[in-house]
Structure 1
Amino acid sequence: MAKLLSYTMKQTPQFIARFTHYNRNTKILIFGSFVVGIVMSIFGFTASLYLYALGYTTVEIGEIGAVSMATTAIFLIPAGYLTDRYNKKKLMLLGASLNSVFLLLYVLPAFPVLIFANILGGIGNSIVMPNISALLAENSNSDNRKFVFTTNALMNQIGNALGTALGGVMPDLIKNTSFGSIILGFQFVFIIAFFFTILRLASIFFLDVKQTPTERKGMLIPGSWKLISKFALTQMLIGFGAGVTIPWFQIYFKIRFDASYTSLGIAFFATNVIMGISLLIMPLLAERKGSVFAIIVTQALAIAVLVAIPNTDVFLIAVIFYIIRSVLMNIANPIVNAFTMSVVPANERGAATAMNTLAWNATWSAGYYVGGYVISQNLELIFYITAVFYVLYITTFYIFFRKYDDAKKNNLPSRINIT
């Protein structure tokens, strides 16, 4: 850890220097990612615990959570198509507005309202996601794209840390007041998250987006379709594996160790802080060893740690394993995104992001539902199911992209020719 901190301190000035040279749009988008990190970590950390406290079963929680991802998956392809043809700023405003309403509705505990809220949130996410990646790619170049995407992920991670701290501490604080309850505490943090979405909406107005019209008969040209299909298949594998386990960590710790909400909040806060620090290393590792190497090695190590979690009876040790797993598995994400955006033609990036996110969300939704059922029957089995799909993911990713790695280069080919 000391070496990691020392190395990070040495690299931080490099990131700061690069950030000062980013254009205005990039800085606004990165600020938006910071705010989104706060919002989504508040929701992501508290939602399942909130529903569990309301008395919903894990199967019902899986059904509610799966609706949002399923809706996102359904609308992603048309949203990606619109991203490449219409004004991205207006589309982002629409999507962010729907996300604001989604969070506000979550204070109402009725099952039909929660389902409707998740539908709105899913549509909003499907509109926003392709536009963010496409705009970041448009406002970066092959020399700095890894660092732009990593800086974006880093600021999102800092927001995640703040959001998990709020989501973990506030419910217990309000519960301990004379007029409070744990349900009221959760609802209060949802309202806080709503106000952050208004701040994010305001930032979008300052974007300067000039839409470049494209003329194509179809959504994807044949070469791109082959390439994007390979990326999408890997996202399907990792999406299902993640869905089975990731949204259930809070409930797993709550049931297995009877952990308090505050202790869970502290654990997840620490995870996000360490993950944020580790993100500074990934683009440098990718430049020296290659993106594919960096992705495969970190995520392979994460699988080994994942299967250790259900084999410990000590909460602190389980949390340490969880932190290590989360850091190793997630620090590669911005490199995956940058790698994808670099090899896909510029006028296909919105559609490519939509296809990849569709693959991930559709299978994550299915995994979320399956995980809810499995955890109701066997608390530990979800970890082994996820490990199997993660192994399939890194194996497939290596087979597909090992020939197109970018070690010791400052850029990636503008496009991969599929043979």
Structure 2
Amino acid sequence: MNKDQFFLVISSSLFGISMGANTIIISLYFKSLGLSPLTIGEILSLSVIIGSVISLIFSFLGDMYGRKKFAIISRSVTTVSTFLLFLGYPIAYVFSLGWGSGNLIFSMLAEKSNNVQRLLGLRQSLSIFLSVFGSLLPLLLTYKEILLLEVFINLMALALIIPVEENYRGNRSFNLKSIGVISKFSTEALIGLGAGLVIPLMSLWFNLRFDVTASEMSPIFAIAELSLAFSSYLSIVIAEKIGEVNTIIYFHSVAIALLFILPFSPSFFVASIVFVVRNVLMNMTSPVFQTMILKLVQENERSRANGIVNLMSSIPRAFGPSIGGYFFNLGNLYFPFFITGTLYSLSTVLFFLFFRKTS
């Protein structure tokens, strides 16, 4: 791994700390500020809408004028927004997501490696290892202290991008020759809507269902992320043997079955086990999926392709927390899981039909 690859992998992986911590604390932090479950869901929804739209814009600009400068802008906005969130402004969360920095960095990595699949697998595993650390932060720090730490982490991620040398100079064309391939990834819209219903609200669900605190949940989320870190790189090895499509289909199918079982868990202990296993099986194939996009799309369209696929997932995902929050507000802690499982199932079937002939 050369210097630029190292900086890009570390910069994008550092976000894992915030991901691990925020999965637990964000909805509970908003609750501590006096927001209702419905309002919490609406803020989460708005953040996804704004983040995904601007992410797409930055992805187009990155393909046209170079990716590095827009990755830097994206990280800068995230840093400022996280600081405002620390100061107690909930609305700042809608600007705190990385506006396309992931898409841009993935494209930069693909430019600098002949085996981007391995780099993405390494990046995914490292990011998740760091998210384990983030998941444990509620055991040691308050919500505000965690958010302040995230500000400094974002600054570090920003600093690592600056010295990277970019050879890609952009392509001013708006034409997308890969649009046919990109459209097949529309299955992500179903995944996005389903995930949005329950995944951003899982810590709130555990709290409402079993009356557990953030510190009690923290080890479970840490175990889930640690297990995922080991399995993510394993998915790359498996995909090299049985194919990318088969790897995604097999693991997702088992994960979906567990999702239907999860809301009927009789205790926090049982629910935790189901949650951990389902999380691993559903998400371990992320680098495999990302590699498919980079392989099937030509070099000067990669950021845009990632941005469009992200948008197709994110817009439906944005409505999910509001729907999930609505049902949780009514005291119904079961129905959102049924909807999510059904959407995941449909997406998996369509994904197989669209890509079954892809080697």
Q: Is 1:118 aligned with 2:93?
A: yes
1:220 aligns with 2:176: yes
Where in structure 2 are there 5+ consecutive unaligned residues? none
Report how far residue 32 of structure 1 moved: 1.1
In structure 2, the partner of 1:136 is 109
Residue 51 of structure 2 contacts residue 95 of structure 2 at CA under 8 Å; is this kept in 1?
no
More divergent stretch after superposition (347-356 vs 49-58)? 49-58
Q: Does structure 2 retain, via aligned residues, the 8 Å contact 1:81–1:219?
A: no
Runs of 5+ in structure 1 lacking a partner?
1-21, 172-184, 406-419
Structure 1 CA distance for aligned equivalents of residues 267 and 216 of structure 2: 14
Candidates 16, 24, 43, aligned match of 1:45: 24
Q: Which amino acid aligns with 1:61?
A: I
What pairs up with 1:86-101 in 2 under 5 angstroms? Answer: 86-101=65-80
Cα offset, 1:145, TM superposition: 2.3
Between the aligned residues of both structures, percent identity stands at 29
Contact 1:79 1:130 in 2 (8 A): no
Runs of 4+ more than 6 Å apart? none
Contact 2:65 2:171 in 1 (8 A): no
8 Å CA contact 2:62, 2:68 repeated in 1: no
Bigger mean CA deviation after superposition, 311-320 or 207-216:
207-216
Aligned residues of 1:241 and 1:386 also touching (Cα < 8 A): yes
> Is the contact between residue 192 and residue 313 of structure 2 (CA under 8 Å) also seen in structure 1?
yes
Q: C-alpha separation between the residues in 1 aligned to 2:111 and 2:233?
A: 22
Q: CA RMSD of the aligned region, Å?
A: 1.4
The correspondence of residues 346-385 of structure 1 with structure 2, limited to 5 A, is: 346-377=299-330, 378-385=332-339
Letter in 2 for 1:206: P
Tell me if structure 1 keeps the 8 A contact 2:30–2:90.
Answer: no
| Alpha-carbon separation, structure 2, partners of 1:319 and 1:269 | 11
Deviation digits for residues 271-308 of structure 1, max 9, x if unmatched? 11111111121111101110000000001100111111
CA contact (8 A) 1:219 1:351 kept: no
Q: Which amino acid in 2 is paired with 1:32?
A: S
Q: Which residue number corresponds to residue 57 of structure 2?
A: 78
- Any idea what SS the aligned residue of 2:96 has? helix
TM-score by length of 1: 0.83
Deviations 1:225-271 (A, max 9, x none): 1111111x111110111000101110111111111221211100011
Give 2:93's aligned amino acid: N
Name the counterpart of 2:42. 63
Shift of 1:376: 1.5
Q: Which amino acid aligns with 1:164?
A: S
1:214-234 residue CA offsets vs partner (Å, 9 max, x unmatched): 252x2412xx11111111x11
Alignment of 1:66-215 (within 5 A): 66-109=45-88, 113-115=89-91, 117-122=92-97, 125-141=98-114, 144-166=115-137, 168-171=138-141, 185-215=142-172
- CA deviations on 1:6-53 (whole Å, 9 max, x unpaired) are xxxxxxxxxxxxxxxx22222111111221111232223210111122
2:254 counterpart residue number: 301
**Does 1:229 pair with 2:200?**
no
Q: Deviations over 1:32-80 (max 9, x none)?
A: 1221111232223210111122221111001111111100222233211
1:400 aligns with 2:349: no
Deviation of residue 317 (structure 1)?
0.7
- Distance, in Å, in 2 between the alignment partners of 1:51 and 1:129 is 26
Q: Which has the greater radius of gyration?
A: 1
SS in 2 for 1:126: coil
Q: Does the CA-based 8 Å contact 1:80-1:351 persist in structure 2?
A: yes
> Which residue identity does 2:264 align to in structure 1?
N
